[in-house]
C-alpha cells in the first residue's frame, strides 16, 4: 500500500488497480447477489436498472479503494439516492392513485407505507397501550408491501451494522440536502454556524423528546403529522381543512428552509444536524457501534479543517482535543478525507488508535456499502427503471 | 350502608385512577419531564418538587370535583374540550412552560444567575416552588380522557363530600404513575441536558399555545 502524501489530502492513486479490484470483488459479488432477483421479473427496464445500479455501486466502491477517499464517492451514491427516491416514490403514487396526497380512507384503513422516521414515536404508545399509532399495517399486504414489521426489522438490522452511519449510507432523505449543499461553491453563514452550532446540534434531541412525549400524549405520530420536511416530496395528508393546510405549510416551510436553502448557504446538512429527531435517536447507537472516527493528537495541528468539513457539526474543538468526535458523528468520512496530516483516522473500538486505520475503514466500508447496496441500491434500481419506463420515445 | 357505599365508591375511584394512570402520565408527562429536568440534580429536591406538583394537581382535581358536582349529573358538551376555559388553560400552560424555559421569574436574593435566554448553556436556575404549584394546578384542571370519566362518575354522586372523596382516591391512583419521575433526580445535569429540557419546554409551549388558541378561535367563530 502506497504511503499518503503529506501535502495533499489524498494522492491520486492510493492503491494499484489490481489490488483495488481484488478488494472490490466481495462488493461486486454482493451486488450480483442482490440484483439477481430483478432478472426473474419480466421487463427490460427493470433489468437495465439493476445492471446500471450494480455497476454504479461496484464502481463507486472501486474508486473508494483506489483513491482512499470515502466522502466524495459516498456522496455521489447518496445524492443519487436522495434525488431518485422521491422520483420513484412519487411516480408509484401517481400511477397507483393519481395524487401525492393520502386519501382519508387510506389513513382510516391503515394502508399507508411505513417510514422508519416514525420509529421513536411509536415506542411509548406501543409499550403502554399495545397499539401502533401509525396508520399502517403490521405485516405486508398486497397493496402495502412496506409494512411496519418489515421496516422496523430492516432499520434494526441496518442500525446494528451501521450505527449512526445509517444517516449517511441508508437514509434516502439525507441525500437531498447533501445534494443542495454540494451545489454551492462558497460556504456562507460560517460565523453563524460557528457561533450557534453547539446549541443548534442539541435541537434534534429536543425534537426527539417532544415527538416521543407528544406521540404518547396525543396518540398520533406527531412527527409525521406535523414536522416531517420530506412530506413535501413524498406523500402527505390531503388538504381538506385549516388544520391540514397548516400541516402542509409546515412541511413545505421546513423542506424549503432546512433541506434546500440552508444547506445551499452553509454547505452543511442542516436538517440532519439541526432538526432530525431520528438522527438523534440513531446517535444513541453510536455508543454500541464498533466503528468510530478518532484523532491522532500527535499528528493533529489544530487546523480545524476537519471541523469545517463536517456536514453535521459533529466536531468541536474540545472533542478534537480529546481525540474523538461528538455523539452525532455519522461516519461519512468527510473529516478523514479533509485532514492533510492523516490525524483523523477510522478506528475499530478495542484496538489501538491510529494503528492500521485503513483496515478499520475497510471493515466498516464492507458492512456499510453492502447495506447501502441492499437498501439504497434497490431503491435506485427501481427509480432508474421508472425513468426508463417514462422515456419519451417509448 | 352509607359507609359501605362510600368505600365502594372510593375503591372504584382508586381502581379507575390506577387503570387509567398511563393515560394521565402521557397527558401530564410532557409538562413534568422538561420542567423537572430544568431543576438542579438531587433526589430531595425532586421529591419535594414532585409532591408540590402533585399537591397542586390534587387541588385542581378538587376544584373540578366541586364544579362538576355543582353543575349536576351531566357534563355539558361545551366542557369536553371546546370551552374557552380549556383554551385559556392551555394558553396559560404554554406561558408557564416558556417562563420555565427562560428561567423566569427568579428570586431576587439569588446571586449571579445565568442569562435567561432560551437556549442558554449554563447553570440551571434555582428551583421555583411557585412553578411546581402553577404547573401542577393547571395540569390538574386540564381535561384528559380519564379525568373526564372520573368527572362524569363524580357528578352522579349524592353529596359534594362524596364527589371530593371520589376525586381524592382517583388522584391517589393516578399519582402512583408519577413516582418514576423521581428518577430524574439522578440524571446528571450537564449544560446539554438543561438546554435540551428548555428547548423541549419551548416546543411544548408552542404546541399548547397552538392548541389553546385554536380552541379560542373556534369558540369565537362557532360559539
DSSP annotation string for chain B: -HHHHHHHHHHHHHHHHHHHHHHHHHHHHHHHHHHHHHSPS-HHHHHHHHHHHHHHHHHHHHHHHHHHHHH-SS--GGGSS-SHHHHHHHHHHHHHHHHHHTT-S--TT--SPPP--TT--SPPPPP-HHHHHHHHHHHHHS--HHHHHHHHHHHTSSSHHHHHHHHHHHHHHHHGGGGGGGGGGGS---HHHHHHHHHHHHHHHHHHHHHHHHHHHHHHHH-
Q: Which three cell numbers stand for residue B147?
A: 379525568
Q: Cβ separation of B199 and A128 shorter than 8 Å? A: no
The DSSP element (H or E) to which A150 belongs, if any, is: helix A148-162
Q: Cβ separation of B29 and A128 shorter than 8 Å? A: no
Among candidates B25, B26, B204 on the partner chain, residue whose Cβ is nearest the Cβ of A210: B204
* Higher per-residue pLDDT: A146 or B26: B26
Question: Helix H segments across A201-292?
Answer: 203-218, 222, 242-254, 262-266, 270-274, 277-283
The predicted pLDDT at position B77 comes to: 55
Q: Confirm or reject contact between B200 and chain A (CB < 8 A).
A: yes
CATH no., domain A290-355: 3.30.70.20
Average pLDDT over residues B41-64: 90
pLDDT tens digits for chain A (394 residues)?
A: 444 444 445 555 689 999 999 999 999 999 999 998 887 877 888 999 999 999 999 999 999 999 999 999 999 999 999 999 999 999 988 888 888 888 888 888 888 888 888 999 998 888 888 888 888 888 887 777 778 888 888 888 888 878 899 999 999 899 999 999 999 888 899 889 989 999 999 999 999 999 999 999 888 999 999 999 999 999 888 888 888 999 999 999 999 999 999 999 999 999 999 999 999 999 999 988 899 999 999 999 999 999 999 999 999 999 999 999 999 999 999 999 999 999 999 999 999 998 899 999 999 999 999 999 998 999 999 999 998 988 776 6
Q: Collapsing DSSP states into helix, strand and coil, what is residue A341?
A: coil
CA distances in angstroms from B106 to A71, B109, B114, B167, listed in the order given: 49, 9, 11, 34
Residue B78 has pLDDT above 70, yes or no: no
Q: Confirm or reject contact between A244 and chain B (CB < 8 A).
A: no
Q: Which three cell numbers stand for residue A176?
A: 437531498
Residue B105 main-chain phi, psi, to 5 deg: -85, 155
From the CA of A208, how many Å to the nearest CA of chain B? Answer: 9
Q: Confirm or reject contact between A198 and chain B (CB < 8 A).
A: yes
Residue B129 has pLDDT above 60, yes or no: no
* Nearest chain B alpha carbon to A219: B26
Residue A50 main-chain phi, psi, to 5 deg: -65, -45
* Higher per-residue pLDDT: B128 or A37: A37
Is B205 in contact with B95 (CB distance < 8 Å)? yes
The predicted pLDDT at position A75 comes to: 97
CB atoms within 10 A of CB B8: 10
pTM of this structure: 0.88
Among candidates B27, B192, B202 on the partner chain, residue whose Cβ is nearest the Cβ of A202: B192
- Report the C-alpha gap between B14 and B9 in whole angstroms: 9
Amino acid at each position: 500500500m502506497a504511503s499518503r502524501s503529506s501535502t495533499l489530502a489524498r494522492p491520486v492513486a492510493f492503491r494499484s488497480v489490481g489490488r483495488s479490484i481484488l478488494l472490490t470483488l466481495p462488493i461486486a459479488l454482493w451486488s450480483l447477489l442482490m440484483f439477481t432477483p430483478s432478472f426473474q421479473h419480466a421487463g427490460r427496464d427493470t433489468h437495465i436498472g439493476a445492471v446500471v445500479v450494480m455497476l454504479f455501486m461496484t464502481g463507486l466502491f472501486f474508486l473508494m479503494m483506489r483513491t482512499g477517499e470515502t466522502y466524495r464517492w459516498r456522496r455521489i451514491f447518496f445524492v443519487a439516492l436522495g434525488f431518485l427516491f422521491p422520483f420513484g416514490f412519487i411516480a408509484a403514487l401517481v400511477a397507483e392513485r393519481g395524487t401525492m396526497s393520502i386519501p382519508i380512507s387510506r389513513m382510516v384503513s391503515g394502508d399507508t407505507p411505513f417510514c422508519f422516521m416514525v420509529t421513536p414515536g411509536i415506542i411509548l404508545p406501543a409499550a403502554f397501550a399495545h397499539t401502533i399509532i401509525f396508520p399502517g399495517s403490521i405485516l405486508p399486504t398486497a397493496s402495502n408491501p412496506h409494512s411496519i414489521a418489515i421496516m422496523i426489522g430492516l432499520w434494526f438490522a441496518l442500525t446494528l451494522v451501521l450505527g449512526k452511519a445509517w444517516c449517511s449510507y441508508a437514509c434516502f432523505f439525507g441525500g437531498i440536502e447533501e445534494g443542495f449543499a454540494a451545489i454551492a461553491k462558497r460556504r456562507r453563514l460560517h460565523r453563524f454556524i460557528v457561533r450557534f452550532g453547539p446549541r443548534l446540534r442539541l435541537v434534534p434531541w429536543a425534537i426527539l423528546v417532544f415527538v416521543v412525549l407528544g406521540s404518547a400524549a396525543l396518540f398520533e405520530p406527531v412527527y409525521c403529522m406535523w414536522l416531517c420536511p420530506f412530506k413535501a416530496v413524498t406523500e402527505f395528508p390531503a388538504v381538506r381543512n385549516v388544520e391540514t393546510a397548516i400541516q402542509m405549510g409546515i412541511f413545505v416551510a421546513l423542506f424549503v428552509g432546512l433541506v434546500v436553502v440552508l444547506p445551499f448557504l452553509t454547505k452543511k446538512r442542516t436538517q440532519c444536524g439541526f432538526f432530525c429527531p431520528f438522527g438523534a435517536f440513531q446517535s444513541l447507537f453510536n455508543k454500541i457501534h464498533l466503528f468510530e472516527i478518532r484523532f491522532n493528537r500527535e499528528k493533529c495541528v489544530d487546523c480545524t479543517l476537519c471541523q469545517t468539513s463536517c456536514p453535521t457539526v459533529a466536531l468541536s474543538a474540545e472533542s478534537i482535543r480529546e481525540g474523538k468526535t461528538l455523539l452525532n458523528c455519522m461516519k461519512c468520512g468527510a473529516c478523514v478525507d479533509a485532514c492533510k496530516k492523516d490525524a483523523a483516522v477510522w478506528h475499530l473500538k478495542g484496538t489501538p488508535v491510529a494503528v492500521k486505520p485503513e483496515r478499520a475503514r475497510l471493515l466498516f466500508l464492507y458492512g456499510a456499502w453492502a447495506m447501502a447496496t441492499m437498501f439504497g441500491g434497490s431503491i435506485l434500481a427501481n427509480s432508474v427503471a421508472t425513468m426508463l419506463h417514462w422515456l419519451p420515445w417509448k | 350502608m352509607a359507609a359501605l357505599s362510600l368505600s365502594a365508591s372510593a375503591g372504584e375511584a382508586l381502581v379507575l385512577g390506577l387503570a387509567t394512570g398511563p393515560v394521565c402520565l402521557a397527558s401530564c408527562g410532557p409538562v413534568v419531564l422538561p420542567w423537572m429536568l430544568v431543576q438542579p440534580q438531587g433526589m430531595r429536591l425532586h421529591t419535594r418538587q414532585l409532591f408540590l406538583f402533585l399537591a397542586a394537581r390534587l387541588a385542581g382535581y378538587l376544584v373540578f370535583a366541586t364544579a362538576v358536582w355543582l353543575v349536576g349529573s351531566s357534563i355539558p358538551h361545551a366542557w369536553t374540550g371546546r370551552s374557552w376555559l380549556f383554551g385559556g388553560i392551555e394558553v396559560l400552560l404554554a406561558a408557564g412552560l416558556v417562563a420555565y424555559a427562560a428561567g423566569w421569574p427568579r428570586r431576587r436574593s439569588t446571586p449571579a444567575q445565568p442569562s435567561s435566554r432560551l437556549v442558554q448553556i449554563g447553570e440551571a436556575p434555582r428551583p421555583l416552588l411557585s412553578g411546581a404549584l402553577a404547573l401542577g394546578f393547571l395540569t390538574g384542571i386540564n381535561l384528559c380522557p380519564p379525568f373526564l370519566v372520573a368527572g362524569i362518575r363524580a357528578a352522579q354522586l349524592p353529596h359534594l363530600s362524596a364527589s371530593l372523596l371520589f376525586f381524592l382516591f382517583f388522584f391517589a391512583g393516578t399519582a402512583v404513575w408519577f413516582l418514576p419521575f423521581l428518577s430524574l433526580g439522578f440524571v446528571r445535569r450537564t449544560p446539554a441536558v438543561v438546554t435540551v429540557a428548555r428547548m423541549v419546554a419551548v416546543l411544548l409551549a408552542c404546541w399548547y399555545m397552538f392548541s389553546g388558541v385554536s380552541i379560542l378561535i373556534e369558540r369565537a367563530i362557532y360559539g
